[in-house]
Amino acid sequence: MEAFFEFFSFADANVRYVTIGSVLLAASSAVVGCFTYLRKRALVGDAVAHAVLPGVCLAFILSGTKNPFILLIGAFITGWLSLICIDFITSRSRIKEDTAIGLVLSVFFGIGILLLTAIQHSGNAAQSGLDKFLFGKAASLVGEDLIAFSVVAVVLLISTIVFYKELTLLCFDQAYARTLGFPVRALELLLTTLTVFAVVVGIQAVGVVLMAAMLITPAAAARFWTDRLPVMLLLAALMGAFSGIAGAFVSYTAPAMPTGPWIVLIISMIAILSFALAPGKGWVARIIRQRRNRSLVLEENLLKLLYHLGEQKQAYTVAHSLQELLQRRAIPEKQAKAGLQKLKSQGYATKSAEGWHLTTQGQRRGQRVVRLHRLWELYLTQYLHLASDHVHEDAETIEHIITPELEQKLMEELSFPVLDPHSSKIP
């Protein structure tokens, strides 16, 4: 607890620099990463991250100084050039984008390693610390770095706000944007520039190797929680900021632990939790939904079966044994028992000494399932001209997902039919 209060008091100037720098880095890159993620260009961030290394080295060679603004300018130039090369290769050849990214990434990174090696063997005393651009060293951030981070982060956020509508349209419907007269190519270059800025601002903290994770992981995690872009941008920024603070705190309490990798590790853990627990889209929610759907299908199949048996004898209250039901439809006995018990608890079926039969409420629900099945069979034969002996399997699937609105539309389209393709009455 003592370390906790010492850290969050921000009395130490180094703690302030590292924490604020990490938050600015993570939040701003997460916002830009949302647009990159939605455009399905996640690997672009990785290519840019590796391509900035030769720019950093060239800036140092030409200037002879490690001024963060000069190094960031060099990184920006080569990072932006790498994206231009990717677009040029994909537009002027048959090489696909993922292959072009791999080519550009390896070539630029190889050049950067050669330049970095040459600098390290040059005997220039000022070159110490350049290798931190490879793996990052957030704990060494100083006031000058924080100013550079702040300027770039503000530029990124302001650009995102000003061009929010245009960037949104570019991500979701590029053809429509072009039809409306938007300068699509200019917007692509703008997003490219923002992506490069986001990568450049983060390499000093997490390095070229891990920067792609900072760009894409918060966006991917936020996407699981919402379908609205403004909420996604806010969630991604908050997740990124939290990972920045948490990574700095871990590095403070355990000085041997590097800040950058911990930031990436924490945002990755947040992403894994989002993939698993997010309502609606997470793994757990998907498993629950699948189980619920399987249960619903089983219940409706049992209702339909009991209705068919009652329809044959025109007596829906006549009981039928479990074995009779299993003979009519191939359902595992254990599942059939569980499904019937659930129908009983819901008031759709009841059990007597002779067996199972529908209640009045169950008869109405079973009648609707049968009606939907026969309506869909009739629709397929009349409108898609399928043979009547080829429509049963499709109707078995679709009967469970037809909404009341679609049911009414089917009735109207088919002119409120009385018989299905097999001359069975539509209830």
- Chain centroid to CA 147: how far? 33
- Residue 347, phi then psi, degrees to nearest 5: 85, 15
Confidence class for position 129, pLDDT limits 50, 70, 90: low
**Predicted local confidence at residue 126, as pLDDT:** 59
The DSSP string of 341-373 is HHHHHHTSEEE-SS-EEE-HHHHHHHHHHHHHH
65 or 190, which is more confident? 190
DSSP state of 316: T
Residue 69 has pLDDT above 80, yes or no: no
Q: Bridge partners of 422? A: none
pLDDT category of residue 93 using cuts at 50, 70 and 90: confident
Sequence-ordered list of residues with C-beta below 8 angstroms from that of 163, at least 6 positions apart, any chain: 187, 190
Residues 426 and 301: their CA atoms lie apart, in Å, by: 17
Q: How far is CA 17 from CA 140, 256, 351, 360, in A?
A: 9, 18, 72, 72
Burial class (CB in 10 A: 0-12, 13-18, 19+), 51: buried
Report how far apart the first and last C-alpha atoms of the chain are (Å, whole number): 70
pLDDT at position 124 is 66
Q: Rounded CA gap, 240 and 211, in Å?
A: 12
Q: Give the pair of three-digit tokens for residue 40.
A: 């399905």
Say whether 98 sits in a helix, a strand or coil. helix
Q: How many CB atoms lie within 10 A of CB 324?
A: 13
DSSP three-state, residue 386: coil
**Beta bridge pairs of residue 350:** 357
Domain range 17-281, its CATH number among 1.10.3470.10, 2.60.40.3500, 3.30.43.10, 2.40.110.10: 1.10.3470.10
In degrees rounded to 5, what are phi and psi of residue 329? -145, 135
> Which class is 289-413 in CATH?
mainly alpha
In terms of Cβ atoms closer than 10 Å to its own Cβ (0-12, 13-18, 19+), residue 295 is middle
pLDDT band (50, 70, 90) for residue 204: low
Task: Indicate whether 127 pLDDT > 70.
Answer: no
pLDDT of 125 strictly over 60: no
379 pLDDT above the threshold of 90: yes
- Map out the domains of the chain as residue ranges: 17-281, 289-413
Q: Alpha-carbon distance 280 to 285, whole Å?
A: 6
Per-residue confidence (pLDDT) for residue 137, from 0 to 100: 66
CA 123 → CA 58, 126, 130, 318, 424, distances in Å? Answer: 16, 9, 13, 97, 92
| Distances in whole angstroms, Cα of residue 54 to Cα of each of 111, 131, 206, 211, 425 | 6, 12, 17, 16, 76
pLDDT at 229 over 80: yes
* Per-residue confidence (pLDDT) for residue 250, from 0 to 100: 86
Q: Is 102 exposed, middle or buried (0-12, 13-18, 19+ CB in 10 A)?
A: middle
pLDDT at 220: 92
Distances (CA, A) of 63 to 66, 126, 127, 133, 253: 8, 11, 12, 17, 37
Give the Cα separation of 265 and 259 in Å (integer).
10
User: 137 and 155 in contact (C-beta within 8 Å)?
Assistant: no
